Amino acid sequence: MWELESWTEKEYEDFIVQLKEMEDTEYRSFHSSLLPGIDHLIGIRTPKMREIAKQICKGNYEDLLYQSNKHFIQGKVYYEQSVIEGMVIGYCTNTKKATIYQTKQYISDFAPKIDNWATCDIFCAGMKAIQKKPEEYWNFILQYVDDCAEFKVRMGIVLLMDYYLIEEYIDRVLLICDRVKQEDYYVNMAIAWLISVAYVKFQDKTMDYLKNNNLSKFTYNKALQKIVESNRVSKEEKEVIRTMKRN
């Protein structure tokens, strides 16, 4: 249905109409409660959006991305449009022969469209092309970590969490957490999340970092909270973590 050989403006408009016809008002109400301030939702479940994105990738996905960029420039787009576009970028850069330059360009084009944590995290989880050549993307991702826009910074942090919590990078990633001075809620929550995952993978290194860091009290305590909430941390370790809370 969406395996098109070309995407004209009319075909993209028809695509939006088809998305609207999939509206699930009950799910939209539930999902909107998880995305404060985001009111441009249709109400389509994530598995269905993945199915649509995979079908698009079998056709001329570059045309779809071009039309998506045009619509973004023209005005507000639906949450589902952005998420599907992000999924298409992830699937196609991972399975097609996209160059590193092309992949970076897709990320650069998509980053300004992220206006909530869900779009950010779904997009980042799909960018598995980064995992294949992490060094090629390292400095590119750091420019987003150093940005001033809340969700561009969150994107950078989540990409580090998803693809750089490995032996070669763990020390550098933890130090980068210290250099982020953003006070935005979703940035600090992403840092806390990253640290909790780092603790599970590299307990000793992360514990050393927790004992000597420049995190804000909010971010530090949230990191501890997320570690305690993890099912992959022992009861004994959680007791130690609880004693480390800053008052």
Q: Enumerate the domain spans of the chain.
A: 1-132, 166-247
Q: Which amino acid is at 247?
A: N
Q: Among all chains, which residue has been given the structure tokens 């897709």?
A: 106
- Residue 130's nearest CA partner among 122, 141, 121 is 141
- Residue 112's nearest CA partner among 149, 66, 145, 80 is 149
Question: Which tokens go with 145?
Answer: 């970590």
Q: pLDDT below 70 — which residues of the chain? A: none
d(C-alpha 93, C-alpha 236), whole Å: 42
pLDDT of residue 74: 78
pLDDT of residue 1: 79
**Cβ–Cβ under 8 Å, residues 140 and 99:** no
d(C-alpha 85, C-alpha 69), whole Å: 10
Q: Give phi and psi for 4, each to the nearest 5.
A: -85, 145
What 18-26 contacts at long range (C-beta under 8 Å, 24+ apart), as own/partner pairs, is 19/44, 19/78, 19/80, 19/81, 22/48
d(C-alpha 180, C-alpha 13), whole Å: 40
d(C-alpha 29, C-alpha 33), whole Å: 7
- Residue 229's nearest CA partner among 176, 175, 193 is 193
Q: Among all chains, which residue has been given the structure tokens 């640290």?
A: 195
The tens digit of pLDDT for each residue in 11-31 reads: 999 999 999 999 999 999 999
pLDDT of residue 183: 86
